[in-house]
Every structure is written in structure tokens, then in C-alpha cells.
């Protein structure tokens, strides 16, 4: 079975329509089982952030102890000018942010990265390979993202993948992180920090934010459009990876 981690349901987008024989996971895990590209998969929702991702990955190994491959997927923020919404990134190394703001480097086995790139190319998809930063907070401003790139050298940023990689190291399965960009380095994400770890946003807090920042409303259609591009890219990538990596 291929074990696939993602943060929130809405990141699945088109993926759900491609899953055959869907069934709920249960046993303390949120997500679903099924088949993609001829492979059995278990898709596990972690919620947002390092701590929820760590706890969920640990529980997943208890319930599903011998995955054939592990994939961390979902959306990510671009940290370099070359990346746009819908572009795919494969992590060939992680930088995880500590509580004191320092960065710990985590290596990734090169063979799965190469196989993933080849599988995507065969499916007519391309991906940039490079370091992925796992941050402890949403980098919603262009200034924050530029500073993060200067500090880490990472191509993109998420909030879960490095923590999942650390927890999965003990199972011995090949590990991949393939994410789709939702915001370019120059894009602003108005109100992104309003989301709870579950992804839920208080209507009261959202109303207060947009009343205080009315110009942010103009950016909402772009964010929605970019999410559509990213989720379509994730769906295509997962199908290609399940078919083509030999898991």
C-alpha cells in the first residue's frame, strides 16, 4: 500500500474523483482508502502544522505499519521567482524550522526522487527538484517568503513534510514529497493565518479581518483560481507516481 499524507481535504481537489473503491480510514485517522493508478493507497489528513503532522504520521504507522511507499503532498508556497501556481516541486532535501527559529537539514534518498521525476516526465508533467522548507507558521507575505529563501535556500515552503519524513524514517519505505505551488513568491495570501490546524476559519474572525482589510477581498478570486491549478496538478502527479514509480 502507498501511504499518502496531505494537510486538508480541499487539497485533494481532483484526486477524490480519481480514487476507485473509496472507503473511510477510521482507527483514529482522517482520510480514505482506495486505488489510484492501479495501486492501493491510504490517504491520511494531518491537519496544518508540524505537531499535528508528527502525531498523525506516528498513528498512521501504528495502523498501517508496512507501507510500500510514503508520499507527502498538498500545496506549498513558492520561494523563488521561477515557480508559479500549479507548478510541481519534488523535495530532494528538507529544512525544518525549530522552535527557536533555527534550521535542521534532513536528507532525502536520491533514488526515489529520480524515479518520481522520471514518472512525472512519462506522464507529460515536469517538476523542479530542490530543498523544501517546513515552517512553523504561514508565510503569507512576499517579504516573509523572500526572507525564508535567503535564510534556507529552499525552493518552496510547507508546514508538514519534514516532520512526516522524520516519523516515517523508521519504516524503511521510500519517501517522496511532491507538492504543487499555490502562491508565487511575490503573491500575498490575505488572511491565511486565520485558519486553525484543522483548516477551519472562524466566520467572525474572517469578517473582522476583511472589514479591517477591505483591499484583501480583491485577492480572493486569485487565491481560489490558484488553488484549482494546484489541486489539478496534485491529482495528475499522484496518478503518475502511483502508476510509474514501481511502488
Q: Look at residue 210 in the predicted model and tell me its pLDDT.
A: 61
Residue 96: pLDDT band (50, 70, 90) is: very high
Q: Look at residue 72 in the predicted model and tell me its pLDDT.
A: 97
- For the chain, helix (H) and strand (E) counts, in that order, are 7, 10
- As a whole number of angstroms, the distance between CA 157 and CA 149 comes to 9
Give whole-number Cα distances, 52 to 5, 19, 55, 58, 88, in Å.
Answer: 12, 25, 5, 10, 24
Can you give the C-alpha Rg of the chain in angstroms? Answer: 17
Place of cell 506549498: 76
Q: Would you say residue 215 has pLDDT above 90?
A: no
Please classify residue 205 by burial: count the beta carbons closer than 10 Å to its beta carbon, then call 0-12 exposed, 13-18 middle and 19+ buried. Answer: middle
What would the pLDDT profile of 26-64 be if each residue is shown by its tens digit?
899 999 999 998 899 999 999 999 999 999 999 999 999
Instruction: Tell me which range, 77-81, 140-144, 190-194, is most confidently predicted by mean pLDDT.
Output: 77-81
Q: Whole-structure pTM over 0.85, yes or no?
A: yes
Q: Would you say residue 237 has pLDDT above 50?
A: yes
- Positive or negative, the CA dihedral 234, 236, 242, 246 is negative
Domain housing 167: 2-244
Torsion of CA 51, 55, 57, 62, to 10 degrees: 170
| Least reliable range by pLDDT among 80-84, 99-103, 124-128 | 99-103
Q: Look at residue 247 in the predicted model and tell me its pLDDT.
A: 45
**Three cell numbers, residue 134:** 517546513
- Whole-number mean pLDDT of the chain? 89
Rounded mean pLDDT, 76-103? 95
Q: Which one has a higher pLDDT value, 12 or 194?
A: 12
The string over 213-243, giving b where at least 16 C-beta atoms fall within 10 Å of a residue's C-beta and e elsewhere, is eeeeeeeeeebeebbebbbebbbbbbbbbbb
- Positive or negative, the CA dihedral 209, 213, 217, 219 is negative
Q: Would you say residue 157 has pLDDT above 60?
A: yes
Strands 127-134 and 88-97: parallel
Rounded mean pLDDT, 195-202? 64
Where residue 123 sits, what CATH number does that domain have? 3.40.50.1580
Domain count, the chain: 1
Q: H/E element holding 56?
A: helix 50-63
**Three cell numbers, residue 225:** 483560481
Q: Which one has a higher pLDDT value, 88 or 208?
A: 88
Residue 188: pLDDT band (50, 70, 90) is: confident
Q: Look at residue 16 in the predicted model and tell me its pLDDT.
A: 84
| Listed residue (161, 159, 182, 165) closest to 13, CA to CA | 182
**Three cell numbers, residue 144:** 516573509
Amino acid at each position: 500500500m502507498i501511504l499518502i499524507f496531505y494537510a486538508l481535504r480541499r487539497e485533494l481537489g481532483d484526486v477524490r474523483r480519481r480514487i476507485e473503491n473509496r472507503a473511510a480510514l477510521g482507527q483514529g485517522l482522517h482520510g480514505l482508502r482506495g486505488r489510484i493508478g492501479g495501486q492501493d493507497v491510504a490517504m491520511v489528513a494531518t491537519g496544518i502544522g508540524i505537531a499535528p503532522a508528527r502525531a498523525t504520521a506516528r498513528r498512521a504507522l501504528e495502523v498501517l505499519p508496512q507501507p510500500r511507499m510514503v508520499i507527502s503532498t498538498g500545496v506549498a508556497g513558492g520561494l523563488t521567482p521561477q515557480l508559479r501556481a500549479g507548478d510541481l516541486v519534488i523535495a530532494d532535501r528538507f529544512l525544518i524550522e525549530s522552535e527557536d527559529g533555527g534550521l535542521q537539514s534532513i536528507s532525502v534518498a536520491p533514488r526515489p526522487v529520480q524515479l518520481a521525476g522520471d514518472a512525472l516526465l512519462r506522464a507529460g508533467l515536469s517538476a523542479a527538484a530542490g530543498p523544501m522548507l517546513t515552517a512553523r507558521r504561514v508565510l503569507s507575505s512576499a517579504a516573509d517568503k523572500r526572507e525564508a529563501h535567503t535564510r534556507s535556500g529552499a525552493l518552496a515552503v510547507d508546514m508538514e513534510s519534514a516532520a512526516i519524513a522524520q516519523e516515517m524514517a523508521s519504516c524503511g519505505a521510500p519517501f517522496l514529497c511532491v507538492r504543487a505551488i499555490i502562491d508565487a513568491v511575490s503573491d500575498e495570501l490575505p488572511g491565511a493565518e486565520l485558519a486553525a490546524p484543522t483548516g477551519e476559519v472562524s466566520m467572525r474572525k474572517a469578517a473582522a479581518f476583511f472589514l479591517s482589510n477591505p483591499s484583501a477581498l480583491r485577492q480572493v478570486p486569485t487565491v481560489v483560481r490558484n488553488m484549482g491549478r494546484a489541486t489539478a496538478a496534485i491529482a495528475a502527479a499522484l496518478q503518475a507516481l502511483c502508476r510509474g514509480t514501481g511502488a
